[in-house]
Amino acid sequence: MFDIGFSELLVIGVVALLVIGPERLPRVARTAGHLMGRLQRYVTDVRADIQREMEMEELRRMRAQVEEAARSIESTVHGALAKAETDLNRAVEGPAPEGARAQESTAVAGEPGADGARTAGEEKRG
């Protein structure tokens, strides 16, 4: 934490011994040690909290990226399914003359077909 060498610590110890005295020096040293321990634990806790917050922010960013990728994949799949459904419907209907296709586009769902004929399910009900 601090860049203090052994010779500097020795000078500080000698000055503390002269200023504080031999009777009170052990108590002061013990108190200083406790305070330094508390300070180190506090700094460690703050570092851990900052590290945890940085990891949480990184996880939030990753979650947003994954959600965006999932939405992109979902829209791609929906588009592909819609295209496949359209292709299948066209394949089932078979090639129709140009006039029949124009009539299909004007027919409304639930009404008889473009030629006015009813389907088998409609004949039973109607």
- pLDDT block averages, 10 residues each, the chain of length 126: 79 88 89 94 97 96 96 95 93 69 50 49 50
Instruction: Please state the pTM of the whole predicted model.
Output: 0.46
CA dist., res. 11 & res. 6, Å (int): 9
Residue 108 is predicted with a pLDDT of 47
Distance CA 114, CA 126 (A): 18
Comparing CA positions, the residue from 78, 81, 77 lying closest to residue 89 is 81
Q: Which two tokens stand for residue 110?
A: 């639930």
